[in-house]
Chains A and B, each alone.
Chain A
C-alpha cells in the first residue's frame, strides 16, 4: 500500500493547523455577538447536584465520541485525499508481444502446421494483450487473419483452419499458388515481416516460421534477404524445421541456411521429427521471448479507495448522529 500524493497528509495537517488558529483567533470576537452572554451567580446550586455530575459524565462521553468520530473522518479523508494505491511491479514482457504464425502449407508441412495451430490455440487462452496473426504461404503468402487480440475470433479462425488441415479441404491454401514454384520461404518470410503494423510501438515482434525450406522455383527474396528484412524491422524469427533430421541429410545444406538466417535475427532454430514435439518447442520459444523482451520493471499503481472511503463514511455518519445528540 502506497500513497500517490504522499505530501497530502502533512499539507492537510498544516492547513488544518492554520484553520484552527484562525478559528481560535476569530472565536474571541465572534462569540460576543452570536451567543448572548448570560452571567449568573452561584451556579453551584446546579453544579453541586449529583445529577449534574452524571449528566456531565454523559456529556463528556458524547464529546469524546464526537472527537473520535471527527478524528476518524479527518484521518480517513486525509488518507483518501492522498490516494492510497496498491503497488505492483509489472514486467512489460509477454503481454506486449506481437506474434505472426508464418506457416508453410506445402503438402509435407500440413501435419506440423495443424499441431502448431493447436498449440497456439491453447496458448491464446492465456494471452492478455498479446496479438497474434496467421499467415500461410506456399508460392505466395496469404494473411489468414491479421494481428489481433480478439482471442475469440482467433480461436474461431484456428478451429476453422484446423478443420481445413485435417479434412484436407483446399480452402486453407486458397491464394497461395500465385508465384513461380512452391514453398517460396524467402517470399513467405518477407511477407510475414510486413504484417507488423504500428512499427513505432514499443512491442516485441516475432515470427514463428514453420517450413522445411524445400524451395522449388524462383523466389523474389532469398531466405537470407528475407531474414535481413525481418532483422531490419527488429523481428525475431523462430524457425521450426520438421525436415531437419538425420534420416534426411540431403536437406542438411538447406537446414544450415535456415538456422543461420534465424540466428541472425536474434531468434532460435528448432528441428524436430515428430509433430508432438511442437508443444515443448512453443514453450521454449515463449520462455526465450520472456528473457528477450523483459524491459526495466514498471511500477503499476492502482487506486484503492474502498477501505478509507468506508471508514470515512462511518466516521461521518457517527459524527452526524453524535452531533445531533449533543445539539439536542
Chain B
C-alpha cells in the first residue's frame, strides 16, 4: 500500500535540496524547541535556526556555522484539528481536492513533529460527530490518522462544521498543545471567534486555510458545478455573467482579508493555501510568522 505518510516524507526529501526542508525543520525546532535549556548536541546550521543558538566557538572550530540543539524539556503535543465533512471533499482553488491538500499539510507538520519526538493527535469529524485519536508519535499512528482523514472525507460525508471540532478541543483538553487547524474559506462567526479567543489563550494555534475553488472558472463553463452542501447546481448562464464575476472577485478578496484580519486580531497566525505545492512554503511562513508573533 502506498502510504500517505510516505507520500509526505517523499515530498519533504524531494524538497531537501531546495533547503526548504531544512529550513522548515529549523523553523519547527526554533519555534517549539528553542527554549529548552538542556544541551543535547551540535548540528550544522540550517536557515531558520535561531541565531542565538549558533555555537560560535564550535563554528570557529569546524569552519561552518553550527547550531546547538537542546533536549526538549518535555514532549510537545501537536493536535491536528481537521474537517472530514463533505465540504472538504470539494475542489480547492488550485483544482485539487481540498482533502488531499489538507492531508499533505497535516502530514507534513505531523511528520516534522514526530521527527522531534513530539506526539501527534487528531480531532476530526463533521457536523454530526467528532473523532478523536490520542496523541502518539509512531509512523504507524501517523499513517492511521492520515488514512482516517482520507477515508472519512467523501462527497457523501456529513456536512462540514469545524466549529464542532474546535468546541470539542476547548472542552476536552487541559494541557497546552500546538493546534494545527486546517480550515477552508468558511466565514468566521461570532461564536467561533469567541471560541478561538479562548483556545488561543491555552494553546499555540496555527491556522491553515485551504482556499475554495472559484465556481466561475471559465474552463468549467461546460461542467456541472454544484455545492457539496446541498447539491444545488449553479447554472452556467449565471457563472458566465461578467458583472457577477466582478462582484464575486471583489467579495472573495474582501472575505479572505476579513478572515485574516479576524485571526490576526486573535493573535493566531494563518496562511492560505490553494494547492499541494503551497503546503511547505505556507507551513514555513506560518511557523516564521508564529515565531515573531509570539514575542
Q: Write the nearest CB–CB distance from B271 to chain A, whole angstroms.
A: 18
* Partner-contacting stretch, out of B168-176, B196-204, B223-231: B223-231
Residues on B with beta carbons closer than 8 Å to the beta carbon of A328: 237, 240
A306 interface contact, C-beta 8 A: no
**Contact between B223 and A35 (Cβ–Cβ < 8 Å)?**
yes
Q: Does A46 belong to the interface (CB within 8 Å)?
A: yes
Are the CB atoms of B251 and A49 closer together than 8 Å? yes
Residues of B within 8 A of A43 (CB): 215, 226-227, 229, 232, 234
Residues of B within 8 A of A37 (CB): 223-224, 226
- A326 to B234: give the CA distance in the assembly, Å: 14
A56 at the A/B interface (Cβ < 8 Å)? yes
Residues of A within 8 A of B225 (CB): 38, 40
- What is the interface residue range for chain B against chain A? 35 or more
Residue B255 interfacial (CB < 8 Å): yes
**Cβ of A39 and Cβ of B241 under 8 Å apart?**
no
- Given contacts A45-B185, A49-B248, A59-B237, whether A40 and B228 have CB atoms under 8 Å apart is yes
A41 touches B223 (CB 8 A): no
- CB pair B228–A55 under 8 Å, yes or no, is no
Residues on B with beta carbons closer than 8 Å to the beta carbon of A55: 237-238, 241, 243-244
Residues of A with C-beta under 8 A to B87: 41-42
Q: Is the interface of B mostly helix, strand, loop or mixed?
A: mixed
The answer to the question of A6 belonging to the interface, with a C-beta cut-off of 8 Å to chain B, is no
Question: B215 touching A40 by the CB < 8 A rule?
Answer: yes
Tell me the nearest residue of chain A to B214, going by C-beta.
A40
Residues of A within 8 A of B89 (CB): 39
Kindly state whether residue A36 has any CB partner on chain B within 8 Å. yes
Cβ of B288 to closest chain A Cβ, rounded Å: 28
Q: Please report the C-alpha to C-alpha distance between residue A323 and residue B88 in the assembled complex, in whole angstroms.
A: 36
Q: How far is the CA of A279 from the CA of B28 in the complex (A)?
A: 127
Q: Which of B223, B232, B247 contacts A38 (CB 8 A)?
A: B223
A38–B223 CA distance with the chains assembled, in angstroms? 7
B247 pairs with A40, CB closer than 8 A: no
Taking the complex as formed, is B205 at the interface, i.e. its CB lies under 8 A from any CB of chain A?
Answer: no
User: Out of A31, A35, A39, A46, which one reaches B216, CB within 8 Å?
Assistant: A46
In the complex the two chains form, is A38's CB within 8 Å of B222's CB? no
Distance of A35 Cα from B224 Cα, bound (Å): 6
- Contact status of A42 and B212, CB under 8 A, knowing A49-B247, A51-B244: yes
Size bracket, chain A contacts: 20 to 34
How distant is the Cα of A51 from the Cα of B241 in the complex, in angstroms? 10
* Interface assignment of B82: CB less than 8 Å from any CB of chain A: no
> Within 8 Å of chain A (Cβ to Cβ): is B164?
no
CB B259 to nearest CB in A, in angstroms, measures 12
Taking the complex as formed, is A62 at the interface, i.e. its CB lies under 8 A from any CB of chain B?
yes
Contact A42 B184 (CB under 8 A): yes
Closest to A49 in B: B247
By a CB distance below 8 angstroms, the chain B residues around A49 are 244, 247-248, 251
Known contacts A45-B252, A51-B247; is-contact A39 B226 (Cβ 8 Å): yes
B265 to chain A: closest CB distance in Å? Answer: 22
- Residues B255 and A45 in contact, CB atoms below 8 Å apart: yes
The verdict on B106 contacting chain A, using a C-beta distance below 8 Å, is: no
Contacts of A47 in B (CB 8 A): 234
Cβ–Cβ < 8 Å partners of B186 in chain A:
42
- In the complex, how many angstroms separate the beta carbon of B9 from the nearest chain A beta carbon? 29
Chain A residues with a Cβ under 8 A of chain B: 31, 35-43, 45-47, 49-52, 55-56, 59, 62, 326, 328
Give the interface of B toward A (CB within 8 A): 86-91, 98, 155, 160, 184-186, 212-213, 215-216, 220, 222-229, 232, 234-235, 237-238, 240-241, 243-244, 247-248, 251-252, 255
Known: A43-B227, A47-B234, A55-B244. 10 other contacts (CB 8 A): A36-B224, A38-B226, A39-B89, A40-B91, A40-B228, A41-B90, A42-B185, A46-B234, A50-B247, A59-B237
User: Can you offer 13 A-B residue contacts whose CB atoms are under 8 A?
Assistant: A36-B224, A38-B213, A38-B215, A39-B89, A39-B90, A40-B90, A40-B213, A41-B160, A41-B229, A43-B229, A55-B237, A55-B238, A56-B238
Task: Please name the 10 residue pairs, one residue from A and one from B, whose CB atoms are nearest each other, closest first.
Answer: A41-B90, A43-B227, A41-B87, A51-B247, A35-B224, A36-B223, A38-B225, A39-B228, A39-B90, A55-B241
